[in-house]
C-alpha cells in the first residue's frame, strides 16, 4: 500500500499458517472518538453535510503524527497542524470522492479502511495510518480514481487551503509530502505492471447460529479449509461479553481477536469492530467474524460491516431490518435433515460424512476467496460425450469444479457429475455399446425405445421411454436438486417465448428430459407453466448462467463442430441406397438430402455458431475436434471422450495461467 505510512508493512505480518502474527487481542470497551455515536454518522448524507468531529481524537492524532512527513514536529507545531484538519466519520459503502472530481483535499485513515477503484477494478485498500488523495498536491488536478469506504472509517481531512497554509508555515513539509507522492506514483506504476494483484481481505460474517459450540466448530473448520486453499492464516474475530471473553479459545499462531461489547452500547461496539476488522484485514486474506452467545442483538451491527454474510439455514432467522450489500450464502447442515436445492454458490449443504463436509467446505472457501470455478457444458447429442473427457482431465489435474450448467447432452453429463458420478463411471456407462455384443446387450432397450414413436404429438418420439432408459443407464430416478454434491442447473427453451429457462429445482430426471427435447425429434416437455424444448435452441453454451451462479472463472465447452463433409451419416447412406433401388424417382429429388438430415444439419449450423457467441461470457473456451463424427454416433463414445481429453489437455496451460491470476500468483 502506501510506502510512507507507519503501517506500510502490516499486511505482511502473517504470510503462512506457520508464521507468528500479532497475538490474540482483547479490545476493551471505550467511548467512540470525542463521544461520537453511530447516530451522528449521517450515512445517507452527501459529503457536504457530513458531521465533522470536534478536534482530533487520540486515534486521529496517532494517525497524523505517526506519518513520516509529520514526525519531528514540536508541540506548538503539532497543535498548529492539528487545528487545520477536520475529522469525519464515514460509513461502509459511502463514496469519499469520485474520478473526475476536483482534487480539493488530502485524506488520512485514522481507523477503518477505504478502497481505491479504477472504474470497477479494485486498485488498493488503505488502512489506519495511510494517506490517499495526494493529487491535491498538484494545482488544478482532478481525481483519477474513485475512493469508497470498505469498513466504517474515521478520516482526517486536510482541505487544499489548509494544506497550503501548512506548507507555507512549514516549508520542510513540502519536500516530505512531495517525496511521498513520488513514491506513491512509483508504487502505482509497479501495481499497474505487476500481474496479478492480490485482492484485499474479505470480511465474512456469520449469522443465525443458535449453538455456540456448533458455531465455533463450523468457523474453525471453515478457517482450516480457507487456510488450505489460500496457503495463509486467516483471522477469527469474535464479539463477546466481558463475562464470557475468557471462554473464547485462541488458535495458536493465528491473528484472532476478541472484541468486548454489550448490547446496550451497539454504536460503540460497531466502532471498535470496524477498527479491529481493518487491523486484522491487513494481516489476513479472510476475516471470519461472529458474535458470541447471548449477544444476538449485536448481529446487525456486525452484519453491516461484512463483504459476505453466511446465514445458518437451520438457525435463527435474520431480522427484517438487516438490509445489506454484498454476497449472502445460505449454510445448511444435512445432519439436521434434507436441505434446499443446490443451484448456486449462494447455497452450501454440508454432507453428513466427514469427507463430504471437507469437500463442501472447500467449495465454500473457494467462493469466499473469489476463486470458484464453473463449467458450461454445451449441447450436442453424441458429441456431448466429449464432456466426460474434459471432466476427467480437470479431475486428474486437481482442478475443482464448483458449479456446472448444462444444455441438452451437457445437462445429462453435468447433472450426473453433479450428483456424484465420477468421469470413469460416466465413461463406463457411455461406452457399453462398442460392438455387436454391446448392441445385443441393449437390444431390449432399443426395442423399448421404438415404442416411444409418436404420431399424436409434435416430435418423432414422445420422449417418455427415452427418459426411462436414461434413468436406467445412470440411476437418477428419485433424485432431486437437493441431492446434488455440486450446484447444477439445466438449460431449456420456452417454446412460446423463445426465452432461456434455468431449471434449478425439482426432479433431476425431468430437468434433463426438458433440456434434451430436440425439436422435431422429441416432443416438448412441460415443467410448471413452461412448455420446453432443447436448451441448445436458446443457449448452447450457457456461460452466462455459470457466472450468475457465483463462478469467478468460467470454462465453456462447445462440442458442436462446424459442418464437415466427411462425417458419415449412416441414416443418409441407407436412404440413398434405398433410393437407388426404387424404379421411379423424381428427377428434382436426386442429390438432395433427406428431411431428417436437413433438420440435423440446420440445428448443427445454428448451435455451433450460437454456441461460440454465447460462450463469449466464458473466460476460456474448450472446443474438441469432433468434425469426423455424426451427431448420433453414440457407439463411438470412447473416441469422442478421448477427443474431449485432448482438447482439455491442450488448454491446461491457459487454465492454470488464469487460475494463477485469480489466486494472485505471479505467472
Q: Give the residue numbers annotated as catalytic, written as ranges.
A: 408, 534
Number of H helices, E strands in the chain: 18, 23
Contact (CB, 8 A) for 109 and 126: yes
Query: How many Cβ atoms sit within 10 Å of the Cβ of residue 77?
Result: 15
Q: Which residue do the cell numbers 425439436 mark?
A: 519
Q: DSSP letter at 627?
A: T
**For 35, how many CA atoms within 13 A lie in the half-sphere containing its CB?**
2
Cα–Cα distance for residue pair 322/354, rounded to 1 Å: 33
Contact (CB, 8 A) for 534 and 546: no
Cα–Cα distance for residue pair 566/563, rounded to 1 Å: 9
Cα–Cα distance for residue pair 82/527, rounded to 1 Å: 68
The residues with which 108 forms a beta bridge, in sequence order, are 131, 156
* 200 contact partners, CB below 8 Å, separation of at least 6: 113, 115, 122, 124, 125, 150, 281
Any idea how long the chain is?
Answer: 667
- Cell numbers at 484, concatenated: 446434488
Cα–Cα distance for residue pair 179/61, rounded to 1 Å: 22
Three-state SS string over 26-80 comes to EECCCCCHHHCCHHHHCCCCCHHHCCEECCCCHHHHHHHHCCHHHCCCCHHHHHH
Which is nearest to 129 in space by CA: 159, 156, 103, 152? 156
Q: Does residue 196 have a cis bond before it (omega within 30 degrees)?
A: yes
Query: How many Cβ atoms sit within 10 Å of the Cβ of residue 656?
Result: 14
* 543 contact partners, CB below 8 Å, separation of at least 6: 376, 554, 556, 614, 615, 616, 617, 618
Cα–Cα distance for residue pair 490/492, rounded to 1 Å: 7
Bridge-based pairing of strands 95-97 and 105-118 is unpaired
The residues with which 489 forms a beta bridge, in sequence order, are 405
SS3 at position 390? helix
- Cell numbers at 466, concatenated: 427415452
Query: How many Cβ atoms sit within 10 Å of the Cβ of residue 293?
Result: 16
Three-state SS string over 562-581 comes to CCCCCCCCHHHHHHHHHHHH
Residue 321 main-chain phi, psi, to 5 deg: -90, 5
The residues with which 286 forms a beta bridge, in sequence order, are 202
SS3 at position 258? strand
Cα–Cα distance for residue pair 40/644, rounded to 1 Å: 61
* 341 contact partners, CB below 8 Å, separation of at least 6: 347, 480, 481, 482, 484, 504, 505, 506
Bridge-based pairing of strands 530-534 and 525-527 is antiparallel
Contact (CB, 8 A) for 629 and 640: yes
- Cell numbers at 424, concatenated: 470413469
Query: How many Cβ atoms sit within 10 Å of the Cβ of residue 359?
Result: 17
Amino acid at each position: 500500500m502506501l510506502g510512507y505510512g507507519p503501517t506500510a508493512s502490516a499486511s505482511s505480518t502473517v504470510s503462512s499458517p506457520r508464521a507468528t502474527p500479532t497475538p490474540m487481542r482483547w479490545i476493551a470497551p471505550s467511548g467512540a472518538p470525542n463521544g461520537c455515536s453511530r447516530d451522528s454518522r449521517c450515512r445517507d448524507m452527501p459529503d457536504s453535510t457530513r458531521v465533522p468531529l470536534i478536534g482530533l481524537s487520540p486515534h486521529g492524532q496517532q494517525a497524523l503524527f505517526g506519518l513520516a512527513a509529520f514526525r519531528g514536529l514540536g508541540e506548538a507545531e503539532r497543535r498548529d497542524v492539528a487545528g487545520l484538519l477536520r475529522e469525519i466519520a464515514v460509513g461502509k459503502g459511502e463514496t469519499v470522492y469520485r474520478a473526475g472530481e476536483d482534487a480539493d483535499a488530502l485524506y488520512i485513515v485514522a481507523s477503518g479502511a477505504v478502497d481505491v477503484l479504477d472504474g470497477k477494478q479494485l486498485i488498493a485498500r488503505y488502512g489506519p495510518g495511510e494517506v490517499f488523495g495526494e493529487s491535491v498536491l498538484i494545482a488544478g488536478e482532478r481525481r483519477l480514481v474513485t475512493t469508497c469506504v470498505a469498513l466504517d472509517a474515521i478520516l482526517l481531512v486536510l482541505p487544499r487551503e489548509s494544506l497550503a497554509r501548512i506548507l507555507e508555515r512549514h516549508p520542510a513539509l513540502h519536500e516530505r509530502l512531495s517525496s511521498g507522492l513520488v513514491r506513491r506514483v512509483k508504487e502505482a506504476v509497479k501495481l499497474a505492471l505487476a500481474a496479478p494483484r492480490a485482492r484485499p481481505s474479505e470480511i465474512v460474517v456469520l449469522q443465525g447460529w443458535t449453538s455456540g459450540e456448533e458455531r465455533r466448530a463450523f468457523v474453525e473448520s471453515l478457517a482450516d479449509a480457507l487456510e488450505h486453499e489460500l496457503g495463509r492464516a486467516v483471522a477469527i474475530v469474535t464479539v463477546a461479553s466481558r463475562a464470557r471473553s475468557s471462554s473464547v479459545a485462541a488458535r495458536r499462531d493465528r491473528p484472532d481477536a476478541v472484541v468486548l461489547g454489550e448490547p446496550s452500547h451497539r454504536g460503540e461496539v460497531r466502532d471498535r469492530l470496524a477498527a479491529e476488522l481493518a487491523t486484522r484485514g491487513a494481516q489476513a486474506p479472510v476475516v471470519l467474524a461472529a458474535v458470541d452467545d447471548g449477544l444476538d442483538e449485536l448481529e446487525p451491527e456486525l452484519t453491516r460491516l461484512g463483504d459476505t454474510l453466511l446465514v445458518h439455514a437451520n438457525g435463527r432467522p435474520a431480522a427484517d431490518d438487516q438490509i445489506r450489500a454484498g454476497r449472502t450464502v445460505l449454510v445448511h447442515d444435512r445432519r439436521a435433515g434434507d436441505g434446499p436445492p443446490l443451484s448456486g454458490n449462494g447455497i452450501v449443504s454440508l454432507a453428513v460424512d466427514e469427507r463430504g463436509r471437507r469437500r463442501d467446505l472447500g467449495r465454500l472457501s473457494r467462493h469466499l476467496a473469489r476463486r470458484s470455478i464453473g463449467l458450461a457444458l454445451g449441447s450436442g447429442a453424441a458429441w456431448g460425450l466429449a464432456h466426460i473427457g474434459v471432466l476427467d482431465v480437470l479431475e486428474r489435474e486437481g482442478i475443482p469444479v464448483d458449479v456446472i450448467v448444462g444444455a441438452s447432452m451437457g445437462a445429462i453429463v453435468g447433472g450426473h457429475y453433479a450428483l456424484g458420478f465420477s468421469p470413469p463411471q460416466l465413461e463406463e456407462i457411455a461406452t457399453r455399446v462398442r460392438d455387436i455384443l454391446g448392441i445385443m446387450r441393449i437390444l431390449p432397450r432399443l426395442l423399448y425405445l421404438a415404442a416411444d414413436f409418436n404420431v399424436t404429438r409434435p416430435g418423432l418420439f414422445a420422449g417418455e421411454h427415452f427418459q426411462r432408459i436414461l434413468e436406467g443407464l445412470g440411476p437418477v430416478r428419485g433424485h432431486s436438486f437437493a441431492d446434488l454434491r455440486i450446484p447444477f442447473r439445466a438449460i431449456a427453451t420456452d417454446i412460446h417465448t423463445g426465452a432461456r429457462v434455468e431449471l434449478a429445482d425439482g426432479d433431476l430426471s425431468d430437468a434433463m428430459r426438458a433440456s434434451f427435447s430436440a425439436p422435431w425429434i422429441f416432443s416438448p416437455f412441460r415443467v410448471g407453466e413452461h412448455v420446453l424444448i432443447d436448451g441448445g435452441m436458446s443457449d448452447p453454451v450457457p456461460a452466462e448462467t455459470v457466472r450468475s451462479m457465483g463462478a469467478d472463472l468460467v470454462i465453456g465447452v462447445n462440442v458442436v463442430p462446424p459442418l464437415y463433409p466427411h462425417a458419415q451419416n449412416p441414416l443418409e447412406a441407407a436412404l440413398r441406397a434405398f433410393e437407388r433401388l426404387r424404379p421411379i424417382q423424381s428427377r428434382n429429388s436426386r442429390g438432395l438430402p433427406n428431411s431428417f438430415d436437413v433438420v440435423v444439419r440446420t440445428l448443427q449450423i445454428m448451435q455451433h455458431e450460437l454456441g461460440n457467441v454465447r460462450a463469449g461470457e466464458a473466460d476460456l473456451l474448450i472446443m474438441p475436434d469432433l468434425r469426423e463424427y455424426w451427431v448420433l454416433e453414440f457407439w463411438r463414445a470412447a473416441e469422442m471422450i478421448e477427443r474431449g481429453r485432448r482438447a482439455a489437455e491442450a488448454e491446461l496451460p491457459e487454465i492454470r495461467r488464469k487460475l494463477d491470476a485469480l489466486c494472485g500468483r505471479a505467472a
